[in-house]
Amino acid sequence: MVTHTLNLDSSTLDQDVLCVTTVLPSYLFVFELNRLLGLSLVRSKEDLRFENTVDSFAVYEYDCEVMQQSWRVVENHVISTAPSAQVGMFDQTEQRRFLFPSLSQTDLLVSVNGVTNSLVKRIQSIRRVMSCSLLPKNYGKIKEKLTF
């Protein structure tokens, strides 16, 4: 499986990052976002992965040349199973792992240039989206680490 690597790319620094909290799986959120905003986000063939971890995080992409916008939706968490360390009823346990542990309340990261309050409100209107807000300024290092 081919994976993205984390590098610093100057084009990501001019994009805004939205933190989305939702109970929807990433593919359903992307489906609803496509329907609501008329986008064509598709799952990338390459996942995002840190070099020292096994976990990979799904990436959805859309580049609109007419509107001069680039959209990226990245999962911030995955649930993986591991053999249980304790003897008990279950031989495997589920573990929730984060791309950015400091954003443990964020399920998805949406990177796009030209974020407006109207756009944030439209994303919040998606059923089962609990919150959508800009990445706090004190987390600027996370924005620098995202490369698509």
Structural domains of the chain, with CATH: 3-137 (3.30.310)
pLDDT at 4: 59
Read off the pLDDT band of 69 (50, 70, 90). Answer: confident
pLDDT at 12: 45
Residue 72 predicted with pLDDT over 90:
yes
The C-alpha atoms of residue 144 and residue 127 are separated, in whole angstroms, by 30
The C-alpha atoms of residue 30 and residue 57 are separated, in whole angstroms, by 14
CB 14 within 8 A of CB 112: no
Residue 145 predicted with pLDDT over 50:
yes
pTM equals 0.82
The pLDDT of 95-122, averaged and rounded, is: 93
The pLDDT of 36-64, averaged and rounded, is: 88
